[in-house]
Chain A
Amino acid sequence: MNEILNVKNYSFSYDKKKILDNVSFSVNDYEATVLIGINGAGKSTLIKCIAGLLKSKVGEITLLGKNINEYKRQEFAKNIAYVPQSISFESMSVIDAILLGRLPYFSHPGKLDYEKVYEIIKKLGIEHIANADVQKLSGGERQKVAIARALAGEAKLLLLDEPTSNLDLKSQYETLQMINALKKEGIGIIISMHDINHALEVGDKYIILKDNNIVAQGDVSILTEELLGDIYGLHFHLIQHGNTKHFHIGEEENED
């Protein structure tokens, strides 16, 4: 495994309020790193900073060994792909929507660009909607198209901001399967997630954010009932079957 991304002593403030405070971690290829924390903990901000959408002078983010601020925009776009929490498309066919992911490579799409798009469509199993209007698709299908668009740019690092929120159960399952399949192809993935059990389905590494800081990071062993209970203010009960972990979640018991 090779390191793709390194975040070192990185801080980000907005209107003099600290959103991220001295965070450090790294991400490898073939790995999914899951960001966990309550709303406002800084997950989406961290993803946007890595995507180059928010900038700070404190700390350093390097992508493939090069500071992200030193990249030209198109070169950077070839290496990193971002799928936001809320996805919107202009009214166009799925093929054309995915083709937009090739924008760092073309001003007018060529044969190679279309071949790449068809390859991704086949890989994600969305041939049946290839010619449909992307605005008329279900939330789950649009999510797949957004991920397909991100993959079309052949990025080494994929950033997914809450990819399973607002999806029905089947679409959630399919999205998680897709993430696992992408990992195996060598793409490094950073995902922000609320659902701990979804995180367990795809995660290789976990970063717990609380009060603008990383309070724990590591493999699945860091996810303990105590830590999660402290983060979410809920009661977590670990159920383990062999190597498979699952958390049952309930309200925290009163101590009176």
Chain B
Amino acid sequence: MAVFLLFIISLFVGQARLSPLESLRAFFRIGPDRNIRMVWLIRMPRIVAALVVGFGLAISGHVMQVNLQNPLASPTSLGVSSAAVFGANIAIICGAGIYTGTVGSTLNFNNPYVVTVAAFIFAFGSVLAILGISKIRNFSPTTVILLGVAATSLFTALTTLVQYLANDQALSAAVYWTFGDLGRASYLEILIMACVVFASFIVFFILRWKYNAMGSGDDIAKTLGIHVNALRLVSLLLASLITAVCVSFVGTIGFIGIVCPQLLRRFMGSDSRFLLPASGLLGSILLLISDLIARTVVPGMNIPVAAVTAIIGTPFFVYILLRRKRA
């Protein structure tokens, strides 16, 4: 219900001064072409991208937290974001995405697909490398998390080095890419993200009872007949795939993946049967609200949605933490 309401509000709100009626008519492809294009080519892709990316990052965060047995685990725990940023930076600075100016505060890249593919290759490559090395230690959660921290540091350092060597134009484009922007994704890209998110969600949902058993520790899970290492490998791989795909298409969007499952855990317990879909829905809602604010808070300008998610989410999260503690 909340998702539907936000969908409607998001459809009505934007930089272009369309009335709610005009927006609604344009949604049903009635009225001037300009309005229809505005709704279907600018607003709708953002809304659908927010729904898909928010859902994906939140379920990815929940699966990471369960499998790494750590409440601070997030979709980027395996260094996905920093690796994607490094990949995109390399591509941009090597000429695939030279800054060509802003249109409606959106940057244009000469060859956006090369940037996206480079980001994905580095993001997923980092995940595969970490899981490969972790295999030596039987995918111990501590080893995976520490390798993720090491990978993040390494890619951050490499990104700094690459940016230091870049010219001003390339540097601007590279830095801009790191800001999460839902308007960057086309329908085709949204479809790719939706397929990955939906397929992964189905797999996670099938595994929900096994995730509940893992909450009692690896030993208990093993004596209940679960192949813990295989389950952890598949789960981390899919959760990271979701993140790698989303980050490659829309840039880095933090906070959603770590906070949504944690927030809901305080209200509805840690049963993955309910927490998994609920986290996904909250992720969609939070990202839709954030995008709505990002598009409207400064007239004539879209501010990075990733900044909004953290700015509105953090105080809310702290409030929930303190309120529950007092209760």
**A interface residues (Cβ-Cβ under 8 A, vs B):** 48, 51-53, 73-74, 76-78, 80-82, 84, 87-92, 96, 100-101, 103-104, 106-109, 133, 135, 153
Contacts and interface: CB of A to CB of B under 8 A. Distances in A.
Contacts of A84: 217, 219-220
Contacts of B220: 82, 84
Interface of B: 206, 209-210, 212-213, 215-217, 219-220, 222-227, 265, 269-272
21 contacts: A48-B219, A51-B223, A52-B222, A53-B223, A74-B225, A76-B225, A77-B224, A77-B225, A84-B220, A87-B216, A90-B269, A90-B271, A91-B265, A92-B271, A103-B224, A103-B226, A106-B209, A107-B206, A108-B209, A109-B209, A135-B269
Nearest to B266: A91
Given A84-B217, A107-B209, A92 B270 contact: yes
Contacts of A80: 223
A155 to B, nearest CB: 9
A140 to B, nearest CB: 18
B271 A73 contact: no
Contacts of B265: 91
Contacts, number: 71
A70 to B, nearest CB: 15
Given A53-B223, A88-B217, 15 more contacts: A52-B223, A53-B222, A74-B225, A77-B224, A82-B219, A84-B217, A92-B271, A96-B212, A96-B271, A103-B209, A103-B213, A103-B224, A103-B226, A107-B206, A107-B209
A100 B213 contact: yes
A89 B269 CA distance: 11
A82 B225 CA distance: 12
A103 B215 contact: no
A88 B222 contact: no
Contacts of A74: 225
